[in-house]
């Protein structure tokens, strides 16, 4: 079983690679070093500066947490690429012929890239598809919506769309409803890494994994980074501070079990 990971450069991705490697040995890690984006529009209003500060600080603390715990990539061969669609990466995949390619934290893979990979490609989405898809952070979008039972993670077979591939598994992150923002994001990421690792382990063991079309689950909603504006930030911060509590799972929300 040959597995290649195509991961972004964030500390979260280093942690994910290490945890998967503990269960299923990675043959190679292709690190995607994307060009830095422009500054996010946090300063759109006085309210976003004050209430949004907690969201920013929580995410920064989360990154530092994983920087400390996982300063290095797992001890396997690595390569560096500017995009998941980079020609050198395509040639590497074609040469190595892996049984499975793992993707997380990269730019969007286009159709021709996926066709040239010529193998199964698995993706992690830190949100519950198809109910909340997109970015920049679907945990925060769930807070903005006040739909706390949609905080969780999805493993899917990747396609060229945004978090739209056939679902392998969806799970809610186990929460008490009393988490601080840092605790909330940390629990989501820890759960994401565990769910992804279990899915890879199941594939390596030869299990027949689900491939549930998202359209058969629900219509779904796609959120774009440009929509993450001052109003959305304020609502997320307000809902966490004043409305976040132990929640009941809505029966109409359909999850796809891994086992």
- What is the spatial distance between Cα 43 and Cα 49, in angstroms, rounded to a whole number? 6
Residue 61's nearest CA partner among 172, 173, 148, 180 is 180
- pLDDT at residue number 53: 85
Cβ–Cβ under 8 Å, residues 125 and 156:
yes
Query: Average of pLDDT values for 33-39?
Result: 73
Query: What is the residue-averaged pLDDT of the chain?
Result: 93
Confidence label for 196 from pLDDT (cuts 50, 70 and 90): very high
- What is the spatial distance between Cα 104 and Cα 7, in angstroms, rounded to a whole number? 5
Q: In Å, how far from its chain's centre is CA 106? A: 10
Tokens of 64: 């530092």
- Is the pLDDT at 42 greater than 60, yes or no? no
Residue 169's nearest CA partner among 132, 123, 119 is 123
Confidence label for 43 from pLDDT (cuts 50, 70 and 90): very low
Residue 125's nearest CA partner among 149, 146, 107, 104 is 104
Q: Tell me the pLDDT tens digit for each residue of 91-141.
A: 999 999 999 999 999 999 999 999 999 999 999 999 999 999 999 999 999
- pLDDT at residue number 39: 53
| Least confident residue range of 34-48, 70-84, 218-232 | 34-48
Q: Tell me the pLDDT tens digit for each residue of 51-104.
A: 678 998 999 999 999 999 999 999 999 999 999 999 999 999 999 999 999 999
Query: Average of pLDDT values for 224-244?
Result: 93
Q: What is the pTM of this model?
A: 0.94
The residues facing 123 across adjacent strands are: 103, 156
- Is the pLDDT at 41 greater than 70, yes or no? no
Query: Average of pLDDT values for 134-160?
Result: 96
- Is the pLDDT at 37 greater than 70, yes or no? no
- What is the spatial distance between Cα 98 and Cα 120, in angstroms, rounded to a whole number? 9
39 or 227, which is more confident?
227
259 or 11, which is more confident?
11
- pLDDT at residue number 251: 93
- pLDDT at residue number 36: 75
Taking domain 3-34+42-242, whether its CATH number is 3.40.50.261 is answered by no
Residue 55: helix, strand or coil by DSSP?
Answer: helix
Cβ–Cβ under 8 Å, residues 215 and 186:
no
- pLDDT at residue number 259: 77
- pLDDT at residue number 46: 56
28 CB-near residues (< 8 Å, 6+ apart): 4, 5, 76, 77, 78, 79, 92, 96, 98
Residue 59: helix, strand or coil by DSSP?
Answer: helix
- pLDDT at residue number 72: 96
């Amino acid at each position: 079983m040959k597995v290649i990971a195509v991961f972004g450069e964030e500390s979260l991705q280093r942690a994910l690679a290490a945890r998967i490697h503990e269960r299923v040995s990675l043959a190679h890690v292709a690190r995607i070093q994307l060009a830095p984006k422009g500054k996010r529009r946090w300063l759109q209003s006085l309210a976003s500066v004050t209430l949004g500060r907690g969201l920013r600080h929580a995410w920064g603390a989360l990154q530092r947490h994983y920087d400390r715990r996982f300063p290095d990539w797992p001890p396997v061969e690595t390569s560096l690429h500017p995009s998941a669609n980079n020609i050198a990466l395509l040639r590497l995949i074609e040469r190595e012929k892996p049984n499975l390619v793992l993707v997380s934290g990269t730019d969007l893979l286009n159709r021709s890239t996926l066709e040239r990979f010529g193998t199964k490609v698995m993706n992690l989405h830190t949100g519950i598809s198809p109910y909340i898809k997109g970015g920049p952070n679907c945990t925060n979008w769930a807070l903005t919506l006040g739909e706390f039972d949609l905080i969780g993670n999805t493993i899917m077979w990747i396609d060229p769309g945004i978090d739209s591939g056939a679902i392998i598994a969806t799970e809610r992150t186990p929460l008490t409803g009393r988490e601080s923002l840092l605790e909330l994001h940390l629990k989501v990421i820890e759960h994401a890494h565990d769910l992804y690792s279990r899915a890879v382990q199941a594939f390596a063991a030869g299990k027949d994994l689900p491939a549930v079309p998202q359209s058969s689950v629900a219509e779904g909603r796609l959120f774009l980074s440009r929509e993450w504006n001052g109003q959305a930030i304020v609502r997320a911060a307000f809902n966490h501070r004043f409305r976040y509590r132990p929640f009941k799972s809505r029966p109409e929300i359909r999850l796809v079990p891994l086992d």
